[in-house]
């Protein structure tokens, strides 16, 4: 009966999200642990079989760093931001497109899903331009411009190729690199890519898998998880320091997606098995949901 009750609890959500697009950003533990990646891919295929249309974007920062060191190239950072020169960009493409993307597609296919690997360069899916980062000096208060090389920001999403795949029952898996006007390849932030595609594809949900339970009032206590945050509450949570550090850009990505038509955004712990299913198909959920 417990199993039956679980299925019955899931039914309203299966009906509600039937034929709706769901953007899933693979990151954190779901990327570096083979078992976690396999589990996440299997759950993604399950979403497809119950009538949803999942789209995947993945990151790969730690894997890029490891590959660079193996190849004898020391990663270079300026104020915590990775510098991407031509040689580094070749490694980025090799790791993201050649290794991680194909591994995720293979796992999706292993569980009888129809995975299709893409990069942001395919059919100009992601048009980008070079990004100049501006950082404030804490001592002087002056704004400093930093050139990180082949690091870009999104100009435009052209979703035709994604629509072609989703309309034919494929699960697209996108590597976060873009193409500049002159054909140059640019490295992009995977969270930002996921949010931008979610908005352009009119996704029902944006789901970001990471290595924390969600937004916590006390970072050392998982029981202080905030399960629902309205966008109007975010400035106060930032002011209080509850949303801080690396969580800020993830929340900003979620807010941008909501402002572009996505119905809800979720930050989930990719270390927890079946975290996708627990968030989508249960009343309590398991992570933090941001909504308008």
Could you tell me if residue 128 is inside a domain?
yes
- 192-201 pLDDT, tens digit per residue, is 999 999 999 9
Average pLDDT (161-180) is 96
Could you tell me if residue 253 is inside a domain?
yes
Query: What is the rounded CA–CA span in Å between residue 181 and residue 128?
Result: 8
Q: Are strands 143-157 and 126-136 parallel, antiparallel or unpaired?
A: antiparallel
Nearest Cα to Cα of residue 254 among 240, 237, 241, 239: 237
- Phi, psi for residue 114 in degrees, rounded to 5: -105, 90
**pLDDT exceeds cutoff 90 at 187:** yes
- The CATH number that applies at residue 64 is 3.40.1160.10
Confidence of residue 80 (pLDDT cuts 50, 70, 90): low
**pLDDT exceeds cutoff 70 at 79:** no
Could you tell me if residue 4 is inside a domain?
no
Average pLDDT (90-101) is 93
Query: What is the rounded CA–CA span in Å between residue 247 and residue 85?
Result: 27
Confidence of residue 151 (pLDDT cuts 50, 70, 90): very high
Could you tell me if residue 1 is inside a domain?
no
Percent of the chain with pLDDT over 90: 75
- How many Å from the N-terminal Cα to the C-terminal Cα in the chain? 36
- 233-280 pLDDT, tens digit per residue, is 999 999 999 999 889 999 999 999 999 999 999 999 988 889 999 999
Could you tell me if residue 23 is inside a domain?
yes
Average pLDDT (227-237) is 96
pTM for the model stands at 0.92
Between these two residues, 164 and 137, which has the higher pLDDT value? 164
- 20-61 pLDDT, tens digit per residue, is 999 999 987 777 778 888 899 999 999 999 999 999 999 988
Number of domains, the chain: 1
Could you tell me if residue 8 is inside a domain?
no
- 102-143 pLDDT, tens digit per residue, is 999 999 999 999 999 999 999 999 999 998 888 777 777 788
Percent of the chain with pLDDT over 70: 99
Could you tell me if residue 209 is inside a domain?
yes
Q: The domain containing residue 184 runs over which residues?
A: 14-291
Could you tell me if residue 37 is inside a domain?
yes
How big is the chain by its Cα radius of gyration, in Å? 19
Nearest Cα to Cα of residue 97 among 70, 78, 75, 125: 125
């Amino acid at each position: 009966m417990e199993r039956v009750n679980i299925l019955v609890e899931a039914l309203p959500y299966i009906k509600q999200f039937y034929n709706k697009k769901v953007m899933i950003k693979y990151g954190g533990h779901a990327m570096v642990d083979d078992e976690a990646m396999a589990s996440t891919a299997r759950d993604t295929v399950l979403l497809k079989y119950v009538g949803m249309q999942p789209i995947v974007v993945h990151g790969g920062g730690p894997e890029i760093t490891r590959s660079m060191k193996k190849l004898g190239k020391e990663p270079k950072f300026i104020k915590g931001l990775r510098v991407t020169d031509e040689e580094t960009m070749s490694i980025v493409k090799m790791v993201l497109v050649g290794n991680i993307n194909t591994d995720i597609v293979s796992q999706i296919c292993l569980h009888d899903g129809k995975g299709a690997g893409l990069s942001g360069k395919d059919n100009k899916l992601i048009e980008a331009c070079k990004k100049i980062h501006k950082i404030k000096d804490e001592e002087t208060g002056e704004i400093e411009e930093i050139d990180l090389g082949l690091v870009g920001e999104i100009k435009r999403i052209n979703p035709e190729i994604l629509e072609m795949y989703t309309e034919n029952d494929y699960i697209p898996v996108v590597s976060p690199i873009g193409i500049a006007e002159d054909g140059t390849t640019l490295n992009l932030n995977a969270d930002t890519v996921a949010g931008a595609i979610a908005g352009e594809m009119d996704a029902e949900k944006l789901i970001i898998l990471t290595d924390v339970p969600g937004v916590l009032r006390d970072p050392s206590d998982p029981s202080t998880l905030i399960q629902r945050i309205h966008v109007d509450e975010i400035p106060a949570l930032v002011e209080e320091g509850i949303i801080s550090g690396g969580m800020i850009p993830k929340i900003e990505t979620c807010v941008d997606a909501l402002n572009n038509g996505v119905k809800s955004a979720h930050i989930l712990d990719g270390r927890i098995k079946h975290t996708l299913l627990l968030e989508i198909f249960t009343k309590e959920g398991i992570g933090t949901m941001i909504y308008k």
